[in-house]
Amino acid sequence: MKKNFLYIMLAAALAQSACQKDFLDKSPSNSYENGTLWKTESDAVAALNGCYNGWETSYNLLYMDAVSDNVYSQWYWDEFQYLGNGSATASAPYVRNRWDYKTIQRCNWFLENVDGVKMDEAKKLRFKSEARFLRAYQYFMMSQLYGDVPYITHTVSTQEAASVSRTPYAAVRDSLFKELAEIAPNLPASYSGNDVGRITRGAALSLKARMELYDKKYAAAVADYKEVMQLGYALYPNYQDLFRIGYENNSEVILDVQYKANDVPNGDIGIMPSSGVGGWASLSPTQALVDAYEMKNGKTIDDPASGYNPDQPYVNRDPRLAATIVYPGQLYEGTYYNSIEAGSPDYYNDNNNSPTGYVEKKFTANLSDYPDMWNTGLNMIVIRYAEVLLSYAEAQIELGVIDNSVYDAIDAVRLRAGMPAVDRTVYSSADKLRQLVRRERQVELALEGLRWFDIQRWQIGTTVRSGTVYGTRLGTVNKTTGALSLTGNHVTVETRLFDARKDYLWPVPQKERDLNKNLSQNPGY
């Protein structure tokens, strides 16, 4: 179903070559003149699909957890290591730049011209709503990372682009709330056939609710999440298969980035496994993430009654641990993963192996799914129903409304994973439930690019994003049985700094400020 949609995207990307330019370049123009391009519905489809081209990427989604305590990015040239350890500056190379107006410029161009197309007006309204969502998503992401950003809803000339100022964060967000509220009724609840993968009503409402949650507008978030919960989404029964290519576009997916091998490929799967299977181990889960998973009995590992054994730390744990992370002694790709013994193909201290001794599994549980893990068609989920349930529960907790619906939402996520329902005698207060839902978000949504935003909005960076990053303990792995023998202390990876006065926002890239002297810098940079 996604195949034809992606073929059209390719054609649109070619037709929209001028719209690939940076925000600071001139307004779109190419071999198609506006007077001849905007004639038929096919023209509108091609231009709209150009707006979808690159609106979000697997690279950004995968690497964002490296800005958090979940993951370590071992290659500085991947542009996230400095952001993760607190050493990023505005002018330093190898710092990810998401101050990006390409999609916004494409969407503005589309919205300024599509009214001239002769086509069904209801479909045209839907098309415009899709473009407005894609533009809103970019502003959501930039305002979340940078705070104040120029809010532009029309195509701009080079002169104008070089003189605009940053719009206050609150004004940007207010505009986005209104935008998403306006477009949601114009979008269908679902698509079929070649349109699967386009923006839905659920996507618009879920993004609006996510922003409301992040901005502590809890009552509004609850209202929107309730509406999403009536749209027919459901948790996919198998947590591991949820992230496999053979099960994509399932009942849990609300918004994703669509890929197709060879034509519009997801080329980032190979960054996760280590060299033993031909990967690069670019992203390494940390001990902090491993420790966040409860025991299978629902108790945390620091509970004396949990049964946790530090010498057999992966036994009887939350099943999501084994589904998300490859740890020493786990059967993976036909062998027992061994990152803790010198001489093994995946030894933690060797090139293209994980410095923490852990590798990401969530998207690579079955590498046989991919004839070429550097050229895959795996879609990347941006919003899924489990996030909606946990976010709804969190918003209700923060409002002080702790009723059965809160427990039911958390229980649904836990039970699907194979964990017990919430012990209501233990988690009976707002403070205890807050701790639980925050832990559930960390483990349920691990490696999906959301952890940093939770750290940011909960203001816990000083606690979780500073100090030493640890990995596994060393020892031996029995090649025949996978039996684990651990000795010594945890390996150390890096020391991170976190300055709460500046590190909750990214620096405005200096190259943008060199081009536009009206752009101010975030405090501390």
pLDDT of residue 16: 41
Angle (CA) 372-373-376 rounded to 5° is: 80
Q: Is residue 150 part of a domain?
A: yes
- pTM of structure: 0.94
CB 155 within 8 A of CB 27: yes
The H or E element containing residue 486 is strand 484-496
On whether residue 190 sits in a domain, the answer given is yes
State how far the alpha carbon of 249 is from the alpha carbons of 15, 60, 192, in Å: 28, 20, 11
Helical (H) or strand (E) element with 477:
strand 467-477
The pLDDT of residue 438: 98
pLDDT, position 33: 55
Task: List the pLDDT tens digit at each of the 525 positions of the chain.
Answer: 454 444 334 344 434 433 333 333 333 444 345 667 899 999 999 999 999 999 999 999 999 999 999 999 999 999 999 999 999 999 999 999 999 999 999 999 999 999 999 999 999 999 999 999 999 999 999 999 999 999 999 999 999 999 999 999 999 999 999 999 999 999 999 999 999 999 999 999 999 999 999 999 999 999 999 999 999 999 999 999 999 999 999 999 999 999 999 999 999 999 999 999 999 999 999 999 999 999 999 999 999 999 999 999 999 999 999 999 999 999 999 999 999 999 999 999 999 999 999 999 999 999 999 999 999 999 999 999 999 999 999 999 999 999 999 999 999 999 999 999 999 999 999 999 999 999 999 999 999 999 999 999 999 999 999 999 999 999 999 999 999 999 989 999 999 999 999 999 999 999 999 999 999 999 999
Nearest of 90, 77, 106 to residue 13 by alpha carbon: 106
* Cβ–Cβ < 8 Å for 279, 272: yes
Position 465 in a domain: no
**Which of 480, 507, 191 minimizes the C-alpha distance to 329?**
480
Report yes or no on 469 lying in a domain: no
Six-digit token string for 45: 């489809």
Q: How far apart are CA 29 and CA 173, in angstroms?
A: 30
Q: What are the structure tokens assigned to 171, written together?
A: 């004004």
Question: What one-letter code names the amino acid at 242?
Answer: L
CA quadruple 426, 430, 431, 435: dihedral positive or negative?
positive
Query: Which of 331, 288, 295, 289 lies closest to 312, judged by CA?
Result: 295
pLDDT for the residue numbered 138: 98
Residue 120 within any structural domain of the chain: yes
The Cα–Cα gap between 226 and 220 comes to: 10
Q: In 3D, which of 270, 276, 321 has the Cα closest to residue 295?
A: 321
**CB distance 41 to 119 below 8 Å:** yes
Give how many domains the chain has, as a whole number.
1
Residues paired with residue 255 on neighbouring β-strands, in sequence order: 383
Amino acid identity, position 95: V
What's 21's domain CATH number? 1.25.40.390
| Residue pair 391/450 in contact by the 8 Å Cβ criterion | no
User: How far apart are alpha carbons 321 and 289 in whole angstroms?
Assistant: 9
DSSP, residue by residue, 179-205: HHHHHGGGS-S---GGGTTS--HHHHH
Distance from C-alpha of 348 to C-alpha of 342, rounded to nearest angstrom: 8
Q: Do the Cβ atoms of 206 and 226 come closer than 8 Å? A: no
432 assigned to some structural domain: no
Q: Which of 78, 224, 98 is nearest to 509 (CA)?
A: 98
Phi, then psi, of 443 in degrees rounded to 5: -85, -40
Rounded CA separation 285/324 (Å)? 9
Residues 453, 140: Cα–Cα separation, whole Å: 12
d(C-alpha 289, C-alpha 317), whole Å? 13
DSSP string for residues in 219-266: HHHHHHHHHHTTTT----S-TTGGGSGGG-S-TTEEEEE--BTTTB-B
**Residue found under tokens 């919205």:** 111
Within 10 Å of residue 301's Cβ, how many Cβ atoms? Answer: 17
Domain range for 136: 2-72+98-211+228-264
**Beta-carbon contacts of residue 433 (< 8 Å; ≥ 6 apart):** 393, 397, 402, 406, 427
Q: How far is CA 199 from CA 59, 191, 206, in A?
A: 20, 9, 11
**Residue 221 exposure: Cα atoms within 13 Å on the Cβ side:** 24
Residue 81 lies inside a defined structural domain of this protein: no
Tell me the angle at which helices 201-214 and 218-228 cross, rounded to the nearest 10 degrees. 160
Sign of CA dihedral 228, 68, 447, 424: negative
194: amino acid identity, one letter: N
What amino acid is encoded at 419 in this protein?
M
For residue 241, the one-letter residue type is D
Instruction: Examine residue 332 and state whether it is found in any structural domain, yes or no.
Output: no
Number of H helices and E strands in the chain, helices first, is 19, 10
Residue where the block lists tokens 């890096």: 494
State how far the Cα of 439 lies from the Cα of 293, in Å rounded to an integer: 8
Give the span between the Cα atoms of 61 and 137, in whole angstroms.
Answer: 13
